[in-house]
Homo-oligomer: A and B are copies of this chain.
């Protein structure tokens, strides 16, 4: 860590900082430049982060040298992680995993219908919300455990693995029974109690990036799960909030190669939530593949006009089928498959 001092920092202030740092068992050194003096600290930055150094007298700024995440970083593990989610499906390998399904599970019939169709088009996992985080208390809130039961039935029929969002810790056992991958939603990306609990399980976890969260914070959330001993973490880019309002969110595809440059974890992209418009989903799916995504998460609904949620961004099964054909060609052009 580098502590940059104010031009007029006094010798007494410098000594005070040195003492504090040394009291933590660390060894600081001083480098006096012409315009600024800096104090460097060798060793565990985590210990030092507990000191609010920017509030100390004489301090102008504190610069971290090390990344605050460890287990999620390439320093810890340099080759890309391949997450085995069961059923022969691996996320992070040569094959790009396509996850498809409705935003919410609305009925048994609809779900089974969508599941069969997306399976036929090449999806390997089924998404579906049983408990829904809705901005309005007056909107449909999900079918609850019944939704998970229908998903399990769809798995039995199609072989598709299941992903669904866990929001309430009180339901964790239910999710462990039904789903293959637990999704942590964007609004809960920093719900640390939730992260800690799924970190204690050995179930694969897909963490969606919060709409106002940096890539670094996404990796810190992954660190919560990893530090609990659960190594099966998959990251998901799903759009960040910006001033642009022609799209619902700004899907940040830069995050795909940027995450891969600092972390070994696989990255999935959700272009449905990321753009909020079904007409943009195919273009952004192909772009995701081209820039290195390890998976896609796409909303598909038998009849988007009747969808209880997110119909604006859901694809018809026929449109999804078309997307998969193009996706296959683009994947092949970057030496991968879907």
- Listed in ascending order, the chain A residues whose CB lies under 8 Å from chain B are 2, 4, 7, 20, 29, 31, 33-36, 38, 40, 42-43, 46, 49-56, 63, 65-66, 68, 75, 133-141, 167-170, 187-188, 190-193, 195-196, 210-217, 220, 223-224, 227-228, 240-247, 250-258, 261-262, 274-275, 277-280, 283-284, 286-292, 304-305, 307-308, 310-314, 326, 329-330, 332-334
A40 to B31, Cβ gap below 8 A? yes
A327 to chain B, nearest CB (A): 10
A19 to chain B, nearest CB (A): 11
A75 to B333, Cβ gap below 8 A? no
A223 contact set on B, CB distance < 8 A: 136-137
A51 to B244, Cβ gap below 8 A? no
Knowing A214-B244, A280-B254 are in contact, say whether A36-B55 is a contact too (CB < 8 A): no
A292 contact set on B, CB distance < 8 A: 283
A255 contact set on B, CB distance < 8 A: 244
Q: How far is the CA of A211 from the CA of B56 in the complex (A)?
A: 26
Copies of this chain, tallied across the complex: 4
CB < 8 Å neighbour of A212 from B140, B211, B256: B211
Q: How far is the CA of A253 from the CA of B49 in the complex (A)?
A: 29
B38 to A34, Cβ gap below 8 A? no
CB < 8 Å neighbour of A33 from B43, B220, B247, B283: B43
Q: How far is the CA of A19 from the CA of B290 in the complex (A)?
A: 38
A310 contact set on B, CB distance < 8 A: 52
A212 to B214, Cβ gap below 8 A? no
New contact pairs (17) apart from A49-B139, A242-B250, A254-B284, CB-CB < 8 Å: A52-B310, A55-B305, A137-B223, A169-B169, A187-B191, A211-B212, A244-B252, A247-B254, A247-B258, A250-B252, A250-B254, A253-B284, A254-B274, A284-B291, A286-B291, A287-B287, A326-B334
A316 to chain B, nearest CB (A): 10
Knowing A33-B42, A257-B279 are in contact, say whether A190-B135 is a contact too (CB < 8 A): yes
Q: Which residue of B lies closest to A286 (CB)?
A: B290
Q: How far is the CA of A209 from the CA of B142 in the complex (A)?
A: 25
22 pairs from A and B in contact (CB 8 Å cutoff): A2-B38, A2-B63, A29-B31, A33-B43, A36-B66, A38-B65, A46-B136, A50-B139, A52-B310, A52-B312, A167-B191, A212-B243, A240-B242, A243-B243, A254-B275, A258-B277, A283-B291, A286-B291, A290-B291, A330-B333, A330-B334, A332-B333
